[in-house]
Structure 1
Amino acid sequence: MKSLFSGFYSFYHKIKGKIAFYPSLFALSGLLFAFLMMFLEDRGISDYLSENIPVLVVSNGDTAHVILSACITGLISMMVFSFSMVMVLLNQASTNYSPRLLPGLISDHKHQIILGIYLSSILYCIFILFYIQPTGAEYEVPGFSVLLGVLATVICIYAFIYFIHTISQSIQITFILDDIYLSAKKRLHQVLEWDENAPDSFPETSGWYEYYNKDSGYFRDINRDKLLEFCKDKKSMIDILPVRGMFALQGIPLFRSKKALTEQEIQKVFTYFHFSREELVSTNYVLAFKQIAEVLAKAMSPGINDPGTAMNAIDYLTELLRIRMRLSDHSFICENGKAYAQERVVKFDELLYNLIASIRTYCKNDIVVVQKIGQMFDYLQKQEAKESSYYQTLKTEAERLLYDAHHSLDNKSDQDVIRRMANNLGVELKFGQGDVNE
């Protein structure tokens, strides 16, 4: 039973980010509601309402046909237009910002729910239209069901207005950056809670039993609670080898166990790992850093040249790096201060190097953006850090950035600004035998 539940949980995690997930659920609910109304119509709900509240019942068959046909036609037109707007949003985000943003935009529940409302209303109206039996003067019109179809169409109109509002916001880069930031911030605070009472070390695992991946895909998430329960039941410890967000190829080592596991236990542990073909910030905060850095780099590329967007991206990066500095370079699944499993994480120095390396390439020629990044380093050096080595990492990356900027900027005044920034950050920029700080 537990294995079945774990399999369902893993399947749910795979499909809930798909663009068709919520629309399919709403469409099914609209279909079921139509059958429910047919059942109630057979029990005489319209007759009862026509006797007590006649204003709520449509009594003319031709009128009911016209109303439902108009509702269906209008709803289909709105749905097609809405889908077209979603495609425009995705195309613009991919072209102007970064293709990595697409999974996050596709998984936006607001747009999925609105499309689901359209589908459920269309299916409801279609089946109620089929239910009307044109048998001359003897047929009975499901008047109350027709009224509900009209109300569903009115709801769809208001949903369409809200959709236009949200889609006009979603296409703005400030909204996209803010959404990435909020998702990453939420995830980072969740990791901070896990890291609060975690131990400082984990046993050496090189001699443990090693088990290999049987599938391939991005290592998206792991069911921490189930894995913790498994380790406690088996009185074992597990070392998770791939980094979250990494593309785990088939046949690579997936985890190590302190105790040997049976084939059934191995399969059980595999169900705790969630793989997918896409990456989401909600399960991997490192992706937020990559996305914001790519937006920044693309904004400063020669084809776009948008320093304003780059400055906004630096602000969001600064805040996320501040929170990341409060985390250690280790992640444990523990209970009451005892670690039962270990996760690999992207270390702070690797994270910062990959961020600044891509930014240096496109931003080193713009003194205004370089100054903004220098302010970021100055701010981060004054923040609380989980490990003292983080401060040296900040100095090292600041030195690399200012070194490249000094070589790229020919203006003497700009070079003086670089020197002042280096002095302020406590960085020594050495070129050959000389020193620009002398």
Structure 2
Amino acid sequence: MRTPRKLAAHYRAIVSSIGFYPAIIITLLLCLAMLLASIEYHELVMALKSQWPMLFVADLDTAKTVLNILAGGLISLTVFSFSMVMVVLNNASSTLSPRVLPGLITMKSHQYVLGVYLGSIVFTLVTLMNIHAENGDTQPPSLGTFIALMLGLYALALFVFFIHSISRSIQVDNVLNTLFSQTQQQLQAIAQAQQPDIAKKRPDYTQWYHIKSPQAGYFKGVHTQQLSKILAQHDLELVVEIEPGFFCVEGFPYLAVNKDISDDSELCEQICKCSVFYIEEYIGDHYSYGIRQIAEIAIKALSPGINDPGTAVKAVDMLSILIITRLRIADHNYTLLHSEEEAAPRLWFYEPSVATLLEDNFDPIRHYGREDTTILVNLLEALKNILFVCDGNKAYVDALYRYVQATVFDAEHNITNPYERKRINEMLERVNEVAQRRGDDVHLALSPQQQN
């Protein structure tokens, strides 16, 4: 019997496959072709054909010709469309980021178009085989031919849509806007669901018992409702000690539970089965994956082969907005059972801290853009904006100032042009103004000795 974790992994692999929707559409059109084949020469269908003769092919050779042309044309259309998909995926991987590929592959519109193409081919071939003698005369499958012709025309219309959609999907602005929108929705959903009073009640789990990872892999999260039900049944509290995206080795202590359940191997196995491990990064799993994909697009844009600082600037601006939204979320998140009203949650897990998000996403941008004044000024402006809205959390403020100082250090040692250093100092003056409004004793500036 398959475990829930294996079933969940197979479900994820099937749903994320480019052939998921095409397989469904092919099956439906195959069933339709078989249904029409069974009623093609029924009395009611023959009466319908006699009433509307202009819609149905009466000549056998004409029907064969139409069906052969449709089958060949649809096959050529499908091959061309699949080739375009491969080109788009290769281009996205080389110019944007390999991590955006799962999102492009699972675009429902492209899967639907390819499914209609393949399903129309199957329908046409099955209809072509449905030619047999009836009362001594060979009659064409005119009803099936008419439906096949309609599917062919519909496929041509979808081809025009497909060309438009596939050309837009590779444009970096559209990719960034999609990633930003989906990530922002994830952050806002968490912020709206959290209750600050409950988030502050996180238990002290330093002396709790640990559950070890059952396998090696990238930890993506837990099935929260399923795990909460198990915890409620056994009166347990649990803290997930690692963040999404953390690479676990087998046997790594990643869960903390308030009771010693090491003797109950079945219960430990049930809890571990609620954990999710896989490689792909889907924004729907956690907002940090969307933030990372935006950052990697910015890093790729700064590479010498692409050299697109405008894209990097836009990505940094988007990252600053996402981190500002992240400030509204408590570092320790929780889950309550939907079916029960509990005074306190039983399941707790970490959210990536602001310092972690800055280090994982801003650090590579700062490293590859440290000789570009535009990028450094943009980073300082983004940090200034985050500082402006950051209030009440000293750890966040300290992390932001540390990152500002790291950016100043890079500018100090890599920017020698007096004009460019003046631009950076002007932005640092704005940062200092925000610090003064906050009451922070901070004064940042490039050393004047190197400006002459």
1:345–1:42 Cα change, 3 Å? farther
SS of the equivalent of 2:356 reads helix
> Which residue of the partner structure matches residue 72 of structure 1?
71
Larger deviation, residues 161-170 vs 41-50: 41-50
Alignment partners' CA distance in 2, 1:292 and 1:207: 38
CA contact 2:421–2:446 (8 Å) conserved in 1 = no
> Which residue of the partner structure matches residue 231 of structure 1?
231
So what's the TM-score if we normalise by structure 2? 0.87
SS of the equivalent of 1:243 reads coil
> Which residue of the partner structure matches residue 375 of structure 2?
369
> Which residue of the partner structure matches residue 300 of structure 2?
298
- In structure 2, what residue type is equivalent to 1:94? S
CA drift of 1:215 comes to: 3.5
SS of the equivalent of 2:296 reads helix
1:273–1:68 Cα change, 3 Å? farther
> Which residue of the partner structure matches residue 155 of structure 1?
154
CA drift of 1:435 comes to: 9.8
Alignment partners' CA distance in 2, 1:33 and 1:250: 49
Alignment partners' CA distance in 2, 1:99 and 1:429: 38
CA contact 2:301–2:312 (8 Å) conserved in 1 = yes
Alignment partners' CA distance in 2, 1:58 and 1:249: 66
- In structure 2, what residue type is equivalent to 1:227? L
CA drift of 1:157 comes to: 1.0
- In structure 2, what residue type is equivalent to 1:174? D
CA contact 1:428–1:435 (8 Å) conserved in 2 = no
Aligned length: 435
> Which residue of the partner structure matches residue 346 of structure 2?
340
> Which residue of the partner structure matches residue 91 of structure 2?
92
> Which residue of the partner structure matches residue 219 of structure 1?
219
2:277 is the alignment partner of 1:275 = yes
1:13-32 superposed matches below 5 A = 13-32=12-31
When the two chains are superposed, the root-mean-square deviation of aligned CA atoms in Å is 2.8
1:217–1:20 Cα change, 3 Å? farther
CA drift of 1:129 comes to: 1.4
CA drift of 1:168 comes to: 0.7
Alignment partners' CA distance in 2, 1:409 and 1:340: 52
Alignment partners' CA distance in 2, 1:45 and 1:5: 50
> Which residue of the partner structure matches residue 311 of structure 2?
309
SS of the equivalent of 1:72 reads helix
CA drift of 1:424 comes to: 2.2
1:26–1:251 Cα change, 3 Å? farther
Could you tell me which runs of 5 or more consecutive residues in structure 2 were left unpaired when the two chains were aligned: 433-441
Equivalent in 333, 347, 350 of residue 356 of structure 2 = 350
Identity, in percent, stands at 28
CA drift of 1:10 comes to: 5.3
- In structure 2, what residue type is equivalent to 1:97? L
Equivalent in 288, 291, 311 of residue 290 of structure 2 = 288
SS of the equivalent of 2:123 reads helix
So what's the TM-score if we normalise by structure 1? 0.90
1:57–1:176 Cα change, 3 Å? same
List per-residue Cα deviations over 1:73-102 (Å, max 9, x = no partner): 111111111111111111111112222222
1:14-413 superposed matches below 5 A = 14-41=13-40, 43-44=42-43, 46-133=45-132, 138-196=137-195, 198-259=198-259, 260=261, 262-334=264-336, 336=342, 338-383=344-389, 385=391, 387-413=393-419
CA drift of 1:43 comes to: 4.3
1:377–1:430 Cα change, 3 Å? closer
CA drift of 1:384 comes to: 5.0
CA contact 1:31–1:124 (8 Å) conserved in 2 = yes
